[in-house]
Structure 1
């Protein structure tokens, strides 16, 4: 089983990491964090780009990022524009919003091209939840070509309360038409009709790792983000539906590992399983009730299994050059 090579304080930026920023093509300033592999940048095992989920900030994943740096990888993570400490779209800083998911796709394309040129191969993209959807879409559109793609609970579809996705899409469009596009789609927590007291159970069974996020909210209040806007919901569903056409995933040649749990309350695991079958070079690691949405922030038993699968997958599909 995978074990940390060193103990990290998950509530502090390690001295081995460097925080900085980069500018998107339109000038939007976005945060990033980088580690050189512990063996030295020139001797790196390869390079990993980690893309977090909706409402996330890279501080939540310091433990995993540092784990791979300690294993010799050069590691980079970046906020999404409008999240973390990379600005906001709306006057209310706690409402997650985007003009269109294509903006994030353009950001990935622009950043990845520079990152790939600067960092030694092999190149691996690891992405969680919304980041997983965006990484999948960007790869399917041929905008990035990593040696391996690893997706943790990817948002290939949202939970729809048993209704067809088209019905949810129509309702979101109606709310936008009513002028509520910039209003939050729910009140608190991570999904509609869910009390904040239930948020921890939705995300992870590990109370200490869950508390790490709350500690970062207190330490860096600007990273906190609340519910998504109705416009975000409508654009998210439109982006999800864009991958449904024949050939969209079937023609993607990048080796892809998907990790998911049937107990996920935020993304559709049924869709993850179905989409994995559409990919020509893929495999899936599936958990049950022992795991919640944030697989890389779960209890050690779950997290270690994820790391083992990831390590084996990278050794197979992204061997050191």
Structure 2
């Protein structure tokens, strides 16, 4: 492992933050950000969503540190400062969704090598929730898991899925999904129209992060990414619930992932809890103060109750 840059000027995280490059078993360079390594309550492995990067979760690391936990956040392949496989760096792309599991294994090895405090807990948002569910079924060793709007299904219009399969079949897999833009969502979408957060200050911070450091951002996904994501959601729906205590947050104003898929999964997760946040949007952990503080309190209580 080698030291990597961490953009502390926009991360809004604890002062002890650091970042590291990791090399996966298939040769891809990814990045992790770490905060609160001296905390004694354990470490939260924070699995980011699509388009995201470690700095976005600096404030989450601060919230978790205030509750006694260290945080490790990951830049998945194809986003943040991790390697991108296409010439157009604005494209969100992965060749196979299963490739993310190589990133998970690299993260797990790094947590051990860096001596991050045990027990390990999982906090996964959106796309990170799909990656996490697969990893848990493959034996990822954590004491408990919490999910924020996990991508166990995607909300699409009636023609979107057939179009994706058609475009994939005619060699357009590396093209951007029609109807998505070439700019980061937070730059292309006014606050009033956004589906992420009801907190204007948070939204402006997200805009500043990718404006000051444009190398962090990506825009719309490729056809292959969406095809792979849809296929993975279908595969995940057929898997049993892993034997890990789970807490899942779902906003009443969710417009990006499938609430129905989340409800089905949690209804069949023995001992699992679904926390419905009536006025929450997609980014529960970055929504209005009363929403996000409630979520962090609940996640921390869940982690402490299952301390391993």
Same fold (TM over 0.5): yes
Superposed CA RMSD: 2.2
Q: Distance in 2 between matches of 1:9 and 1:27?
A: 30
The answer as to whether partners of 2:251 and 2:277 remain within 8 angstroms in 1 is: yes
The gaps in structure 1 that reach 5 residues or longer are 1-7
Contact 2:122 2:146 in 1 (8 A): yes
Select the residue among 50, 56, 59 that pairs with 1:63.
59
Residue of structure 2 in register with 1:88 after alignment: 84
Tell me, yes or no, if the aligned pair for 1:11 and 1:212 is still in contact at 8 Å: no
- In the alignment, is the contact (CA less than 8 A) between 2:184 and 2:217 conserved in 1? no
Distance 1:200 1:131, change over 3 A: farther
What SS is found at the alignment partner of 1:242?
helix
Answer yes or no: is the 8 Å Cα contact 1:190–1:199 preserved in 2: no
> Please, which runs of 5 or more residues in structure 2 have no aligned partner?
1-7
Task: Find the residue that maps to 1:202 and give its secondary structure.
Answer: coil
Is residue 284 from structure 1 mapped to residue 293 from structure 2 by the alignment?
A: no
1:20 to partner: Cα distance: 2.0
Structure 2 Cα separation of the partners of residues 36 and 187 of structure 1:
37
Identify the residue that residue 212 of structure 1 maps to in structure 2. Answer: 205
- What residue is the counterpart of 1:31 in the other structure? 31
What's the counterpart of residue 5 of structure 1?
A: none
Q: Which of 250, 253, 271 is 1:263 aligned to?
A: 253
Contact preservation (8 Å) 1:203, 1:293: yes
1:181 matches 2:178:
no
Secondary structure of residue in 2 paired with 1:318: coil
The correspondence of residues 185-200 of structure 1 with structure 2, limited to 5 A, is 185=177, 186-188=179-181, 196-197=189-190
The separation in 2 between residues aligned to 1:244 and 1:170, in whole angstroms, is: 20
| TM-score w.r.t. length of structure 1 | 0.85
TM-score normalised over the length of structure 2: 0.89
Please say if 1:130 is aligned against 2:127: yes
Distance in 2 (CA, whole Å) between partners of 1:211 and 1:197 is: 10
Residue 115 (structure 1) aligns with: 111
2:19 touches 2:31 (CA, 8 Å); kept in 1? yes
Q: Distance in 2 between matches of 1:215 and 1:108?
A: 28
**Which of 216, 223, 226 is the matching residue for 1:223?**
216
1:71 deviates by 3.2
Q: How many residue pairs are counted as aligned between the two chains?
A: 296
Shift of 1:150: 0.7
Task: Deviation per CA, 1:168-217: give whole Å up to 9, x if none.
Answer: 544312111122211111332789xxx73368621101011011111111
Residue number in structure 2 paired with 1:105: 101
Instruction: Give the whole-Å Cα distance in 1 for the aligned partners of 2:11 and 2:119.
Output: 30
- 1:137, distance to aligned residue in structure 2 (A): 1.4
Sort the Cα spacing of 1:234 and 1:81 in 2 relative to 1 into closer, same or farther, 3 A: same
Supply the distance in 1 between the matched residues of 2:54 and 2:133 (Cα, whole angstroms): 19
Q: Secondary structure at the match of 2:167?
A: helix
Aligned equivalent of 2:240:
249
Aligned to 1:4: none
User: Which residue of 1 is the match for residue 290 of structure 2?
Assistant: 301
- In terms of mean alpha carbon deviation, does 232-241 or 25-34 score higher? 25-34
Q: Deviations over 1:231-289 (max 9, x none)?
A: 101000111111122xx124x1100111111311100111101110121131011122x
Shift of 1:49: 0.9
